[in-house]
Amino acid sequence: MTAFARKNADKPPMLVYEDVRKRYGSFIALDGVSLHVNAGEVVCLIGPSGSGKSTLLRCTNALETIDGGEIRFEGRPLPTKDSEIRQIRQRMGMVFQSFELFPHQTALENVTIGLTTVRKMAAEEAKARALALLAKVGLADKTANYPANLSGGQQQRVAIARALAMEPHVMLFDEPTSALDPETVGEVLNVMRNLAQEGMTMIVVTHEMSFAQRVANWVVVFERGQLLEQGPPQQIFEAPTVERTRDFLGHLGWNG
Amino acid sequence: MKLDWSIVWQSRWLLFEGALVTILLTALTMLIAVPGGIVLALMRNSRLKPIALFATGFVELFRNLPLLLLVYWAFYVMPVLTGFGLPPFTTGLVALCLNVSAYNSETFRSGINSIRRGQSEAGLALGMSRLEVFRQIVLPQAWRRVLPILASTWVSLFKDTSLVSVIAVGELAHTAMQIRSQSFRVLEMLTAMAAIYWVLGYPQAKIVDWIHRKYGVRE
């Protein structure tokens, strides 16, 4: 597989993880993880539950601190000062498994709050941008709805619009479809696929293997806090070099 | 026994004034004890140990003392400790605020802690500061959850203000008791007092029920 060239491989990578370690008490969540993400790439993190994929994602925007190693974003190690972390987070959009829309705000307000609070943008300008983004995720007619009056898929699309409003350089998706009813998974994956086609850099923790196979440029397989294997989707899904990758995919009913 | 209800009518303006003082005392106490409760709740959740410890001590002290004792304590001991005396109304207000702030802080703390961590994380992930997350995301949600409890506290407080009558604050209970001791119309005045408290308190309790229905957690 040496012939495979990664996207934007000639430029410095956007994110570099170097021997990243994280433990919770005696549980080792990340046991020396090294990988990188280039600009414009869609990198899917797959693997069994509890293998460290989500932890790595949460360390990326410093929702969790790391105990060892280094994470570099756009050439610089993640800062430790609170004000600098906030700057970094504005450039990373995050989408959560359980949506985490603000229930006391309408869809529109959920999308504008980052702009008005963090960017100090004028209300009118923020509203215009939010309306455009909600239209983009197919929710132009739901802007006045509260989250309680939206389906799971609609809520997750608002959450994607909320993250996009800050014009992030990279989007972090933490199992974005795991909490959805099967019939609404497709609409969220569609929005994500469109984003990928526009060239958004994305890191996606997912159990949706067909999405990973079709949309990802690079797939990383986790097991017990370590990388089992990483490579282009063709390699991972069709000719895994590690036996346990095959086992994991086999458990999911994936037959290559 | 001969009853003479005319005393109640004759004292109507005094009783009205007393009722006004009761309402004022309740409103002022809540006005101070709600922000006070929020601040104490935040202090208890603080990562700085001394601050958390101080707030915990404050709450556990004033929550577990009988309010009546607190009223006497504010009246007799506070002037000795601080070196200056306050008029009875203010003294009573201080005692009520100490007690109700402690209660409100527990109310707010449970409300704040009931908001999932993911909500804060969603705010932080947008680049918001902890203070912005608290003010714009956590507090508005916690507020709706604790509103029914705060309303119940209000109704209890409305009745409990009668305890400050022991230090001669001219609220409804004290006024009624004064008239009783001057006119010896015990049964009439106690009945009138009960009637006024009930007439004022019942609608408040009904409003609380309505708030419970409107804002009760339905997630």
Q: Which residues of B touch A101 (CB under 8 A)?
A: 122
Please give the structure tokens belonging to residue B63.
Answer: 């929550």
How does pLDDT run across A132-164, given as a tens digit for each residue?
A: 999 999 999 999 999 999 999 999 999 999 999
* pLDDT of chain B, 219 residues: tens digit per residue: 788 888 889 989 999 999 999 999 999 999 999 999 999 999 998 889 999 999 999 999 999 999 999 999 999 998 999 888 889 999 999 999 999 999 999 999 999 999 999 999 999 999 999 999 999 999 999 998 899 899 999 999 999 999 999 998 989 999 999 999 998 888 999 999 999 999 999 999 899 888 888 876 554
How far is CA A93 from each of CA A57, A189, B145, rounded to the nearest angstrom? 11, 16, 29
Q: Which residues of A touch B128 (CB under 8 A)?
A: 86, 114, 117-118
Closest alpha carbon to A154 in A113, A111, A218, A120: A111
Closest alpha carbon to A248 in A112, A98, A45, A81: A45
Determine the pLDDT at residue B5.
87
Contact criterion met (CB below 8 Å) for A229 and A33:
no
Closest alpha carbon to A14 in A161, A165, A168, A234: A168
Distance from CA of B35 to the nearest CA of A (A): 21
The residue whose two tokens read 């009988």 is B66
Q: Which residues of A touch B219 (CB under 8 A)?
A: 103
Determine the pLDDT at residue B213.
83
Interface check for A167 against chain B (CB to CB < 8 A): the answer is: no
Predicted confidence (pLDDT) at residue A4 exceeds the cutoff of 80: no
In this complex, the residue of A63, A87, A118 whose CB is nearest that of residue B121 is A63
Q: What is the reported pTM? A: 0.87
Flag if A113 and B144 touch (Cβ within 8 Å). Answer: no
C-alpha–C-alpha distance, residues B184 and B165, integer Å: 18
Determine the pLDDT at residue A1.
46
Average pLDDT of every residue of chain A = 94
Collapsed DSSP state (helix, strand, coil) of residue A42? strand
Mean pLDDT value across residues A72-96: 96
How does pLDDT run across A170-205, given as a tens digit for each residue?
A: 999 999 999 999 999 999 999 999 999 999 999 999
Q: Report angle CA B34, B39, B41 to the nearest 5 degrees.
A: 95
How does pLDDT run across A113-138, given as a tens digit for each residue?
A: 999 999 999 999 999 999 999 999 99
Flag if A94 and B127 touch (Cβ within 8 Å). Answer: no
Distance from CA of B140 to the nearest CA of A (A): 7
Could you tell me which residues come within 8 angstroms of residue B61 by beta carbon, excluding any fewer than 6 positions away?
B102
Contact criterion met (CB below 8 Å) for B89 and B169:
yes
Nearest chain A alpha carbon to B118: A100
Determine the pLDDT at residue B13.
92
Flag if A92 and B136 touch (Cβ within 8 Å). Answer: no
Interface check for A36 against chain B (CB to CB < 8 A): the answer is: no
Flag if B125 and A98 touch (Cβ within 8 Å). Answer: no
C-alpha–C-alpha distance, residues A13 and A202, integer Å: 13
How far is CA A220 from each of CA A198, A236, B18, B145, rounded to the nearest angstrom? 22, 8, 74, 42
C-alpha–C-alpha distance, residues A170 and A161, integer Å: 14
Distance from CA of B145 to the nearest CA of A (A): 12
Chain A contact probe: residue of B115, B126, B130, B219 with most A CBs at under 10 A: B126
Taking the CB of residue A52, how many other CB atoms lie within 10 A of it? 25
Mean pLDDT value across residues A18-38: 96
The residue whose two tokens read 């015990």 is B186
Predicted confidence (pLDDT) at residue A107 exceeds the cutoff of 70: yes
C-alpha–C-alpha distance, residues B150 and B166, integer Å: 26
In this complex, the residue of A98, A102, A166 whose CB is nearest that of residue B127 is A166
